[in-house]
Every structure is written in C-alpha cells, then in structure tokens.
Chain A
Amino acid sequence: METFLQFLFSGLTVGAVYAIVALGFTIIYNASDVINFAQGEFVMLGGMCTVFFSLWGLPLPVAAVAAVIVTSLIGVALNKLAIEPARGANVVTLIIITIGASIFLRGLAQVVFDKQFHRLPSFSGDAPIDVLGATLTPQSLWVMGGAAVIVVVLWYFFTRTTFGKSILATSHNRLAARLVGINVELVLLTSFALSAAIGALAGILVTPITLTSFDAGTMLALKGFAAAILGGMGNPLGAVVGGLLVGIAEAMGAGYLSSEYKDAVAFVIILGVLFVLPSGLFGRRGTERV
C-alpha cells in the first residue's frame, strides 16, 4: 500500500507537468490547428532561463518571472516568424515547421547556456512529508498545486472573460470571429504566448525535482503529446486527465515493472489510443447541426 501510494505521488507529480504540456498543445491546436512540437522547449526554457538568470544574480522569484516573460516572447516570435508566414500550409508542413523550431530552440539553448544538467533549489526545503506511510516532498506539492492553479486560471479565462471566449470562438469558427471584429492575429499571438507561459511555469516548478538541460524538452513534448492524444486532441479537460493518467501509468510501470521501460509507457499509450480510441477519451463530439 505504501509503495503504491509512493508511486501514485510520483505519478501525479510528473503527470501534473504532462497535463500542463498537454494544455499547451491544446491551446495552440484550438486557436490555429497547429500541433506545436516545440511545446517541450517552452518547459525547458522556463527551467533553463530561471537557472541562468539566478546564476547571473537575479533573486529566484524575479528570475522565474523573467523566465516566463522571455519564454512567452519566444512563443510569440515562433508564431510570427515560423507559423504565420506558412499560413494555409497543410498540417504535416506545419508540424515539420514546429519540429524544426524545436531543434532550433534546443541548439540555441546549448549555445546561449551550456550542455550541463542544472537544478534549482527546492522552493520550501526538502523535508519530506509523511502521508499514510509514503513520503511526499514539498516540491511535489508545489508542482501539483502550481498545475492546479494554472488549470483554474485557464478555466476562468476561457469561460468567464470576453477575451478568453473570443479565443474559443475563433477556434470554433474563424470566419464568424473575424466578422464580429475579433482580432484573429491577436488571438493567435495570445495563444502562443499563453501556451509558452504555462510551459515555462511547469518547467520552473519541476526543475528542482527532475533537473533540466538544453534537451529536456524533447521527452516532455512527446509525453505531453501522448497525454493530449489520450484525452482527445483539443479538449482541455482531456488534456488534464490524459496528463495525470500518463504520469501515473509511467510511475506504476517504472515501479512495478522496470524503470527501464519508463519512457516506453507513453508510447504504448499513444499506440493503444490510436488503435482503439482514435478520438481519445474526451474526443470532440459534434453538437453542430447543419
């Protein structure tokens, strides 16, 4: 029981990060139909920028905020410089563009920062908390709590604010959005900025646990993608549930089978979903009547 609980905690912690990466996929996919494989690089940039900004003398909270801002700007630049010029290109082309952008960002991080692993200090110390015989680190709580806050803020933004709703409207019908005066360029820009910002936040929260390096984003993108596919591409609730499930499956697989297979779990999930349930757990069910 204690071991199960222990695996569950570690699964929920990484799962929370996958959920945020999957939400990042979802936001950009809904606004622009692009599956952004540079999503993992946003997470890496969040961690790496915070590490180096604090090495360069900024206090940790300031470094973290600056890292989120820098990553958002990189998200906006990605949209402006790589996605927008290819407007109207087919899906595969756009995916290849984002993969190219991801390789570029990884290379850039390697040049600007370095090739070493880096860590951040835990935000509230390392004294483990005992829960029913299993231990939970304070940083795990930070990751799960942070992810929960991100989910609630996004939910509020998309369902309660006019700007959030206008992003949803654009994703459902772009022509209608333009005809009521929604600035579609601004919507796209915001989606990329938002997606990059939450990715960076997840990266900052998780770096004290997992460490980070210039190529930390690749696996995160693939696992976040598995989570988004499992939940149903385009569905925010699906992204969160999918992220947590992938995280838990991975932790259980590593714990009960072998940690050698840890990374394989996500890929088995992708294959399984595509074979059995191609639209995912919460795949789009049309309510549109023609």
Chain B
Amino acid sequence: MPDDMLPDAVLPDAMLKVEGLTSHYGRIQALKGVDIEVAPGELVALVGGNGAGKTTLLRTLSGVQPASGGRVVFEGQDITQAKPHARVKRGIAQVPEGRQVWGPLSVEDNLRLGAVLRRDREIAQDLERVYAMFPILKERRRQAAGTLSGGQQQMLAMGRALLTKPRLLLLDEPSMGLAPILVEQILTSVADLKRQGVTIFLVEQNAFAALKIADRGYVLETGKVVLSDSGAALLANERVKEAYLGV
C-alpha cells in the first residue's frame, strides 16, 4: 500500500503513534518505514513471518534498538530518542521474546525488580495481583527462576512486566515454544489484561491465535506494514489466510 493512502490519523486519540519508523542493523535495514497506531484500551496484534521485523519493531519501541528515522509518539510525547528506562517510567513495558527471566534470581526477586522504578505504595498489592493471576508463581516464589518450565517462565516474564505498572504492554511471541494448552492459557490472560484496561500490542507468529483475540491487526512483511484491518477481517482475508493461517 503506498504511503499516501494512509490517512494521517486513523485514531485521533491514539496512545501510541508510530510514523515512518526505520531501524538498521549495520547496513541492513530491518524496518522500512512502519506506521502503526494503538488507541487506549485496544488489543492490537502484529503478525508476520520470520524476519519480518516484528521483534526489531518492539525493541525500537522500548528503546533498546535505536531508530534511524521516523517518530514514536506515546501519549502525545515524542519518545523516539528516549532511553529505555524513561519509556518504562512513562508506562511502556515489554515482555521480550524468549522470556529472558533472570535464571539465578528467585521468582519473587524477578517480579520485584519489575517495580524497580516505582516509588508508590501499591507494589505489594500489585505483586499479590500477579500471584492471583498466576498462582504457580506464588507457590514457587523462592525458587530460582531458571528452574521453572517454559510456560511458567512466560508467566513470570508477564508478571514482571506488569509490575512496572504499564499502560501499554508490548508482548513479543508469548506463545513461542509452548504446548497448545499453555498457549491458550497465556492468551486468555492477555485477553484478561485487556479487560482490566491495559492497552496491548501483541506480536505473534501464531497469527490465528493472536487475531482471534485482537481488536485490530497489522501484517508486517520485510520491514513494512502491508495490511491493516480489524482482527476478524484479517482472519477472513484471503491473503492472510494463505500466508499466515495455513488454510
């Protein structure tokens, strides 16, 4: 789709606005001008194949991968050059691909470090909320995080991100490498979070599962958004079906 076909603002009150975002690894361009918007309270899915630039996009949004061009606007503020911790402070949290828990630290320490920037008095309360959401984590709170199973580590990574008290949660492939029953459980908790008012930007290779729970979706191919529509419409889209749903 040529750029001039995209209206300037699809959502007048977008929480996150990404405009023409580019990013490079050395001389290789991984993002070639990405435009994405997420409104408050939405669950937006980004689907695409291996190497499409999904993880690069999320890392650029969190500031751990530099943007080489374009803008990232969060709640009206340009944060394109902001440091990662400044973005967390503003309310952007990410659950990274492959969980990335701190293996030798205890489950509870992993969670508490999610709140490292917070000074409010609700940390203990939020910790209990995460334990209520994932009771297995409470059971194993003194255990080293590295001894948890893959699914439990995914829960821990989500819990840790929730303890930053995010307004926008970026999820990178939460279902990767998990058994189908766990995929279901994880995606159910994602949908629960949305119901609790957290805005979610979900990146998935498992396009079917992601689009099923998403309000809207984008399709990323070789560093560019090639399609965007409601979740249901994308599920029915012939091109999406053929390329990503294996139908």
Bound state CA distance, A286 and B104, in angstroms?
Answer: 8
Instruction: Pick from B105, B117, B153: contact of A172, CB below 8 A.
Output: B105
Instruction: Pick from B104, B112, B117, B150: contact of A181, CB below 8 A.
Output: B117
Bound state CA distance, A176 and B83, in angstroms?
Answer: 14
Instruction: Pick from B94, B101, B109: contact of A165, CB below 8 A.
Output: B109
B134 within 8 A of A: no
Interface hits, A161-177 → B, CB 8 Å: 162, 165-166, 168-169, 172-173, 175-176
B5 within 8 A of A: no
Contacts of A179 in B (CB 8 A): 62, 64, 84, 88, 93-94, 96, 100, 161
A153 within 8 A of B: no
Cβ contact within 8 Å between A180 and B160 = yes
Say which size band chain A's interface belongs to: 10 to 19
Cβ contact within 8 Å between B149 and A162 = no
Bound state CA distance, A176 and B114, in angstroms?
Answer: 10
Contacts of A178 in B (CB 8 A): 62-64, 84-85
Cβ contact within 8 Å between B102 and A162 = no
Cβ contact within 8 Å between A172 and B113 = no
Bound state CA distance, A289 and B144, in angstroms?
Answer: 11
Bound state CA distance, A180 and B101, in angstroms?
Answer: 11
A3 within 8 A of B: no
Cβ contact within 8 Å between A181 and B100 = no
B 105-133 binary contact with A (CB < 8 Å = 1; else 0): 10001101110110000000000000000
Q: Which residue of A lies closest to B88 (CB)?
A: A181
Cβ contact within 8 Å between A175 and B114 = no
A124 within 8 A of B: no
Instruction: Pick from A180, A181, A289: contact of B146, CB below 8 A.
Output: A289
Contacts of A176 in B (CB 8 A): 96, 100-102, 160
CB distance from B178 to the nearest CB of A (A): 13
B89 within 8 A of A: yes
Bound state CA distance, A175 and B55, in angstroms?
Answer: 13
Bound state CA distance, A289 and B150, in angstroms?
Answer: 8
Cβ contact within 8 Å between B85 and A169 = no
Cβ contact within 8 Å between B116 and A181 = yes
CB distance from B113 to the nearest CB of A (A): 5
Contacts of B230 in A (CB 8 A): none
Max count, chain A CB within 10 A of own CB: residue among B62, B113, B147, B148: B113
Contacts of B144 in A (CB 8 A): 287
Contacts of B109 in A (CB 8 A): 165, 169
Q: A168-B102, A287-B147 are in contact. Are A182 and B85 (CB under 8 A)?
A: yes
Cβ contact within 8 Å between A169 and B105 = yes
B 140-170 binary contact with A (CB < 8 Å = 1; else 0): 0000101111100100000011011000000
**Other than the known A162-B113, A165-B113, A181-B89, what 9 A-B pairs have Cβ atoms closer than 8 Å?**
A165-B112, A168-B105, A173-B102, A175-B64, A176-B100, A176-B101, A176-B102, A289-B146, A289-B148
Q: Which residues of B contact A (CB under 8 A)?
A: 62-64, 83-85, 87-89, 93-94, 96, 100-105, 109-110, 112-114, 116-117, 144, 146-150, 153, 160-161, 163-164
Nearest 3 pairs between A and B by C-beta?
A181-B88, A288-B103, A287-B146
